[in-house]
Amino acid sequence: MLKLPIYLDHNATTPCDPRVVEAMVPYFTNTYGNAASRNHPFGWQAEAAVDYAREQIAKLIGADAKEIIFTSGATEADNLALKGVFEMYRSKGNHIITCNIEHKAVLDTCKHLEKEGAEITYLKVNPDGLIDLKELEAAFKPTTILVAIMYANNEIGTIMPMKEISALSRKKGVLVFSDATQAVGKVPIDVNKDGIDLMAFSAHKMYGPKGVGALYVRRKNPRVKVTAQMDGGGHERGMRSGTLNVPGIVGFGKACELCMLEMDQDAKRLGILRDKLESSLLKLEEAYVNGSTQHRLPHVSNISFKYVEGEGLMMGFNKDIAVSSGSACTSASLEPSYVLKALGLGDDLAHSSLRFGLGRFTTEEQIDYTIEQVTKTVNRLREMSPLWEMYKEGVNMNMVEWAHH
């Protein structure tokens, strides 16, 4: 029996895997010590649990346990990486290169740094959602201290050419930071092979709990340091003070271990389901995939259904199926998605987009139901759409004089 509602918004957050919850439970009531309490068994047990989790997490990304700095999530890790590097390497330069489809946690932190005297270059992306390596190469200056490019995008799932980006940066002696929140645990990542010096990620995007994440900070070749953004008791080697969230960290560790074990089979299974969903929905006329279909996470699909508006579309099934849209009507700012616009999509297509994010517990039955419901609703709303009628009559919509407001 199909159970409703169906969750297809795994880029926003994921459910905790029950095995993760099971691992966490004892750390609330039994092993509740402060990992920084050095003088009694409660503290030692907590510290041991944190150390174990640090190993599990480091292993997933090919890092050393000492290189993991725990934070409250990816937003904090993004802030710590950008602000921390800027303050630490200020004497070397003030220039940071990033791109225009980064998450707001990166873009708004960059905006903040601009006020502090940073110079930021925002690379544009091509219609596939990828940066141009030649443009990156041309953007370096003698004052460049950091390249900050996300591993995979949260709206369209596209994967950046990290190896090439880091090779170029390394040649220039510039550090590489990557917001890998959407990619860790979903595709194989190795900070050494990928040449990443700092990397942000978050437990709740990979079947772990909310409110815990990490910043990977390289310790060798080169040794990287960041200035603390949270002052206090000097936890996490002085880079992030605050009593560690032991149950959260234990869950994060378990989540990483599970991803390590199951990533291949999950990716394969979800890739097949995603492709089924996508190819079925593309049978609708005037439906387009946004972003590269080649360099993309296996569980994400972002599709625009021209001539229907995204929020109106979601309303047709959102009590049964949870997805998200880049439409302006869904955003508080009434602006359509800046990511889709950065791909060069016209506003009309940006307004018409839906993001489907599949996850570990998504079933084929759910996908079949989704195909049916979305198809039905798109057709129904097109019958109600003046733009669809014009399109069908062959009216050139660029020639219509719209009453702009």
Partner 1 sequence: MSYSEKVIDHYSNPKNVGTLDKSKQNVGTGLVGAPECGDVMRLQIEVDETTGIIKDAKFKTFGCGSAIASSSLATEWLKGKSVDDAVKIDNMDIVEELSLPPVKIHCSVLAEDAIKAAVNDYRQKNGLPELKFEGSVVH
Ligand X SMILES: Cc1ncc(COP(=O)(O)O)c(C=O)c1O
Count the Cβ atoms, other than its own, within 10 Å of residue 218: 21
Q: Which is nearer to partner 1, 134 or 404 (CB)?
A: 404
Measured in degrees and rounded to the nearest 5, phi and psi for residue 364 equal -65, -35
**Among partner 1, ligand X, none, residue 218 binds (CB under 5-8 Å by kind):** none
Residues 182-211 touching ligand X, rule: CB under 6 A, are 182, 202
Residue whose Cβ sits closest to ligand X: 73
CA-nearest of 33, 59, 158, 43 to 102 is: 158
Side-chain-side CA neighbours of 260 within 13 Å: the count stands at: 15
Residue 321's contacts (CB-CB under 8 Å, 6 or more residues apart) are 5, 6, 8, 369, 370, 373, 374
Residues in 289-328 that interact with partner 1 by CB under 8 A: 307-309, 311-312, 315-316, 327-328
The binder of ligand X chosen from 14, 31, 75, 292 (CB under 6 A): 75
| Shortest Å distance, C-beta 183 to ligand X | 9
Nearer to partner 1 among residue 262 and residue 311 (C-beta): 311
* Contact string 342-361 vs partner 1 (x = CB under 8 A): ----xxx--x----------
Binding partner of residue 199 among ligand X, partner 1, none, CB under 5 to 8 Å per kind? none
* Binding of ligand X by 181 (CB under 6 A): yes
Draw the binding track, 134-153, toward ligand X (x: CB under 6 A; -: no contact). ----------------x---
CB of 37 to ligand X, least distance (A): 27
Nearer to partner 1, 1 or 399 (CB): 399
* Rounded Cα distance, 12 and 33, in Å: 32
Helix (H, G, I), strand (E, B) or coil at 259: helix
How far from 96 is each of 13, 220, 230, 349, CA to CA, in Å? Answer: 29, 22, 22, 31
User: In the set 10, 54, 83, 103, which binds ligand X (CB under 6 A)?
Assistant: 103
Q: Tell me the two tokens of residue 100.
A: 């225009």
Measured at the CA of 96, the angle between CA 92 and CA 98, to 5 degrees, comes to: 160
Which of partner 1, ligand X, none has residue 311 at its interface (CB below 5 to 8 Å by kind)?
partner 1
Q: Which of 340, 306, 349, 347 is nearest to 127 (CA)?
A: 340
Instruction: With H, G, I as helix, E, B as strand and everything else as coil, classify residue 303.
Output: strand
Which one of partner 1, ligand X, none interacts with residue 24, CB within 5 to 8 A by kind? none
Residue 256 catalytic?
no
User: CB-hemisphere CA count at 13 Å for 3?
Assistant: 4
Q: Which residue's CB is nearer to ligand X, number 73 or number 129?
A: 73
Question: What are residue 14's phi and psi, to 5 degrees?
Answer: -120, 155
What is the biggest distance separating any 2 CA atoms in the chain, rounded to whole angstroms? Answer: 79
**Which residues, listed in sequence order, are joined to residue 54 by a DSSP beta bridge?**
none
Active-site entry in 16, 99, 256, 329: 329
Q: In the bound complex, what is the minimum distance in angstroms from residue 33's beta carbon to partner 1?
A: 43
Structure tokens at 55: 């190993």
Residue 199 tokens read as: 């990397």
Taking CB under 8 A as the binding criterion, the range among 17-25, 329-337, 355-363, 367-375 that sits at the site for partner 1 is 329-337
Distance of CA 186 to the CA centre of its chain: 11
- Interface ranges with partner 1 (CB under 8 A): 307-309, 311-312, 315-316, 327-329, 332, 334, 336, 346-348, 351, 383-389, 397, 400, 402-405
Q: Which residues bind ligand X (CB under 6 A)?
A: 73-75, 78, 103, 105, 150, 154, 179, 181-182, 202, 213
The residues annotated with a catalytic role in the active site are 329
